[in-house]
Amino acid sequence: MTLIISWIGVDDKKDGKEISSIYIASDSRYTWGNAGKFDYGIKVFGSTKHPEIFGFCGDVLFPSTILGQIIPQIDNGILLNDDDNLNEKNNKVFDFIKSSLSTYPKDFLGNSFTILHASRFKKEFKLFKTSYDGNKGIKNEEITLPKESTRVFSGGSGKSEFDTNCQKWEDEKHNNYRTSRAVYHCLTETLKEIKDPRTGGLPQIVGLYRIENMRLFGIVEDAKKYIYGKQSTEDINSRSIEWRNENFERVNPDTLKILEGAQRQPS
């Protein structure tokens, strides 16, 4: 069933605190009961043309199929308009999910799923959650975002282990208290020690900043590069995306060392 999380980064501005970034991250494991696992499954998505990112947990086939339909329609200017506000954009996304679900064969749908949708309009960010329960049906709601850097959502079968591990980073005495890197530290450590057999593999992350659209992050772990959980052994154009190490520091993909000018972070 997986682990999915979301967190925000907040900056101090002269007019007060403002959200500067939002991230959705997940593990990379797909499972089929006890029959098998696949640790290269895509669980986070984003638009390269509009400031929209997504992630899911729970049932795999329906959310991955629907997001695979939504993203191209956003990228091609079909589903959303440039002047749609945050609620209008999410309402259109939810209507698409709901109408698709109404025709989906229920015998092939898992008991539950959650789809996160983070969006930006001008300088404002919002996070929405669409959840389905076999007994209660489907619903959509906004997740309130505070004015401090912190995790704002965790879900899936790995949630309890992740939440327990995060307690040490949420101690005011910790070096990384109230930082976005603290949430990522917790994610990487949880995945290394996870007991839940349905959660595993390397982390995968998409994010939104104040400018531009979805950012896909490559992961550097043990001097190796990974994208969506899969090691990048092919001859790829590594410089086309950002790369982060386990401290969430920006990394040069050629040398696998901290990027020149990047701030080192306490562990």
Sort 138 into a burial class: Cβ within 10 Å, 0-12 / 13-18 / 19+: middle
Strands (E), 109-251: 112-121, 124-133, 137-143, 150-156, 204-209, 215-221, 224-227, 230-231, 242-244
Domain 3-244: CATH superfamily, name plus number: Aminohydrolase, N-terminal nucleophile (Ntn) domain (3.60.20.10)
- 202 forms bridges with which residues in the sheet? none
Q: What is the pLDDT of residue 37?
A: 94
Q: Is 211 left (phi over 0), alpha (psi -120 to 50) or beta?
A: beta
137-143 and 124-133 beta bridge pairing: antiparallel
Q: What is the pLDDT of residue 261?
A: 60
Q: What is the pLDDT of residue 77?
A: 96
Q: What is the pLDDT of residue 157?
A: 95
Domain boundaries of the chain, sorted by first residue = 3-244
pLDDT tens for the chain, residues 1 to 267: 689 999 999 998 878 899 999 999 999 999 987 789 999 999 999 999 999 999 999 999 999 999 999 999 999 999 999 999 999 999 999 999 999 999 999 888 988 999 999 999 999 999 999 999 999 999 999 999 999 999 999 999 999 999 999 988 777 776 666 777 889 989 999 999 999 999 999 999 999 999 999 999 999 999 999 999 999 977 788 889 999 998 899 999 999 999 876 555 555
DSSP classification of residue 136: T
- 131 forms bridges with which residues in the sheet? 114, 139
Give the Cα separation of 26 and 5 in Å (integer).
Answer: 6
**Would you say 165 and 190 are in contact if contact means Cβ atoms under 8 Å apart?**
yes
Indicate the pTM of the whole model.
Answer: 0.94
Going by C-beta distance under 8 Å and a sequence separation of 6 or more, which residues neighbour residue 238? 218, 225, 232, 253, 254
**Would you say 16 and 204 are in contact if contact means Cβ atoms under 8 Å apart?**
no
